[in-house]
Amino acid sequence: MLIKFPHCLAIALLMSCSWSYGQIAEFDPVTDEMLGDPPPGEWLSWRGEQNSWGYSPLEQINTGNVNQLQLVWSWAMDDTGAGQAAPLIHNGVMFLPGPRGVIQALDAANGDLIWEYRPGITASIDGTERAISREALGAAAMPATAYAGVGRGVQKNIAIYGEMIYAATENASIVGIDARSGLLVWETRTADPALGYYYTAGPIIANGVLVTGITGCERYKDDLCFITGHNPQSGEELWRFATVAAPGTPEGDSWGDLPLQFRAGADSWQAGSYDPQKNLVYYGTAQAKPWARAVRGTDGDALYTNSTLALNPNTGELAWYYQHLPGETHDMDEVFETLLIDVGGRESIFKMGKLAILWQLDRQTGELIRATDIGYQTIVNVNPTSGNITYRDGMIPRIGQQIDMCPSTSGFKSWRAMAYSPQTSAVYVPITLNCELATFGPTERVLGGGGTGPVRRINYPHPQSDGNLGELLALDIPSGEVKWRYRQRAPINTAALTTAGGLVIVGDWNRYMYAFDAESGEKLWQTRVTTSAQGFPMTYMIDGKQYLALPVGVGGASWSSMLPRDLAPELTRPLNGNSIHVFALPD
């Protein structure tokens, strides 16, 4: 299937032949139809399919045999920053995103490297200068030797389409890479990284358009946070939707009288979903910045922060929005994944933010169907049928005044995406149980300033947790009732994966990987790996054999550093070890 030879032979015009190791000889272009209905053994979207279920129809590995899993191969990734990989599989090749923009193509059956793309090092496909040079970025560029522990330099997902791989960079550009060779085809800068912008979430493909949400929108600047659509062939920007409503627009009053420069936040740092029947992409947005109302200077709703947006991927036109937490004021993101699930004929979206409220929206209209508070948070009251939020007494922070809140600013839910199983009609949600004594402080209201605002922070265990930080929560769909809970000391630290083999797969901060019976919650298998399980587990099939790929990683924000350090100090992990581990049943 894979033929390896130097690029200098493959591409006659290429000046250099040292960076890539070979090329994928048999590569079927990925079509919209394939993305909409992928072959069962492939993994073509960051959560498996465009509906973001995180579910595989493969069942060779199942509840009856999962305890026989064996390591087939593993691969050490760059240790230049945090690992939160969401690999893709096509034509027997794993496309693996690593820290600081590195992408590697590996033979998914044995782990052999086929090619790798290294920003600034890998040549472009025709030998001309296509990459944005560090010289052009100047002081805005991430230092070449920097260790990218949190934020800039993290690379979660990538996209595949046609004969290309797509990624979004730490320096606020989008790249198109030749999928066969790993050579750069185009790089398009979307924003100035000197203003704070960068990407951690990669693009998705929707009806032939590359859709990407940016982050790093917390600074004060003459500019607004955005989601873009790009032409996948050329890298040309087709549209841009500002996720912050500007003064003078229909929703612009929701920021009070704040001028545009001081309307920050509404980042999209987790990739969205796509419904091909409706031709709509669904993206979450993050909270307003600075986090606290009193610090940002408005108690308005601050649209379109902490919302679900439905956008036409060809035009960028807003079909509808639903704002989950109007005027949010504690750093409670609702930015996370949107699962497209039909329930009793009702085309729905299910999603959950840091507060662990499960939202069900109508996918066509954005109307709220049901809001289910899991019951862990102490900040708001939510009306289950209208979705309306009211803050509990004393819970709107004032500058310099300590409040006691659950969760902490890290949240119960994070980027560790939940998965849905149609077999059990349940979602499986990685949760971290925690609370905080929080005192929000001021920022300078000047261009270049702003940010999240400082917080004096004291973490403490959640009163219902019995000292456990980690929870895997199984919730019935659509009722939101708890089907089962699994709790343990260490945080559950990966996204969840569900399979038709009746399994739900997650890993934890303490280096364990687990397979559970999705129906009963019984733990069926575990193994231990190099460092924290971290990233997006997935599964695939090659030549009749099912493989389970589990990413492992260091780094990460407070959920993976401060919380375990403060609340489970007896747990330790190696400081290096970004890697991927692939398991299968014995032959």
Partner 1 sequence: MQSSIRAQGSSSIWDGIYTEAQAVRGEEEYAARCASCHSVDLRGNSNSPSLLGLSFMFIWEGRTLGELFGKVSTEMPTDQPGSLSLQSYAAILAFILKKNEFPAGSSELSTNDAVLNQILITSEGAAN
Residues forming contacts to partner 1 in the complex (CB under 8 A) are 81-82, 139-140, 142-143, 145-153, 196, 198, 215-216, 218-219, 267, 269, 286, 289, 441-444, 448-449, 451-456, 554-558, 561-562, 565, 575
- Looking at the Cβ atoms of 507 and 556, the one nearer to partner 1 is 556
How many other C-beta atoms can be found within 10 angstroms of the C-beta atom of residue 62? 18
Output Rg (C-alpha) for the chain, integer angstroms. 22
Q: Tokens 């046609």 belong to which residue?
A: 162
| CA gap 203, 229 in Å, rounded | 9
Strands 159-161, 164-168: pairing is antiparallel
- Looking at the Cβ atoms of 154 and 185, the one nearer to partner 1 is 154
Q: Which of 246, 294, 244, 242 is nearest to 264 (CA)?
A: 244
Smallest distance, Å, CB 176 to partner 1?
Answer: 25
Q: Tokens 């498996």 belong to which residue?
A: 48
Q: Which two tokens stand for residue 303?
A: 């649209």
Smallest distance, Å, CB 280 to partner 1?
Answer: 27
Smallest distance, Å, CB 483 to partner 1?
Answer: 32
- Looking at the Cβ atoms of 49 and 267, the one nearer to partner 1 is 267
Residues forming a β-bridge with 545 = 542
Smallest distance, Å, CB 336 to partner 1?
Answer: 14
Q: Which residue type, as a one-letter code, is found at position 238?
A: L
Q: Which of 76, 84, 104, 227 is nearest to 154 (CA)?
A: 84
Sheet of strand 579-584, all strands in order from the earlier edge strand to the far edge: 70-76, 579-584, 545-552, 538-542
| CA gap 347, 429 in Å, rounded | 21
- Looking at the Cβ atoms of 244 and 358, the one nearer to partner 1 is 244
Residues forming a β-bridge with 339 = 350
Smallest distance, Å, CB 218 to partner 1?
Answer: 5
Across 389-425, b (16+ Cβ under 10 Å) vs e yields bebeeebbbeeeeebebbbbbbbbbbbbbbbbbebbe
| DSSP 8-class letter at 197 | -
- Looking at the Cβ atoms of 1 and 447, the one nearer to partner 1 is 447
Smallest distance, Å, CB 568 to partner 1?
Answer: 15
Q: Tokens 């296509």 belong to which residue?
A: 130
Smallest distance, Å, CB 559 to partner 1?
Answer: 10
| CA gap 511, 527 in Å, rounded | 8
Smallest distance, Å, CB 508 to partner 1?
Answer: 17
- Looking at the Cβ atoms of 13 and 575, the one nearer to partner 1 is 575
- Looking at the Cβ atoms of 366 and 556, the one nearer to partner 1 is 556
- Looking at the Cβ atoms of 19 and 147, the one nearer to partner 1 is 147
| DSSP 8-class letter at 514 | E
- Looking at the Cβ atoms of 86 and 455, the one nearer to partner 1 is 455
Q: Which two tokens stand for residue 221?
A: 């600047």
Smallest distance, Å, CB 399 to partner 1?
Answer: 9
Smallest distance, Å, CB 256 to partner 1?
Answer: 21
| CA gap 86, 433 in Å, rounded | 24
The helix, strand and coil proportions of the chain, stated in percent and rounded to the nearest 5, come to 10, 35, 55
Q: Which two tokens stand for residue 456?
A: 């004096």
- Looking at the Cβ atoms of 562 and 571, the one nearer to partner 1 is 562
Residue 227's Cα: distance from chain center in Å? Answer: 15
Smallest distance, Å, CB 485 to partner 1?
Answer: 28
- Looking at the Cβ atoms of 150 and 238, the one nearer to partner 1 is 150
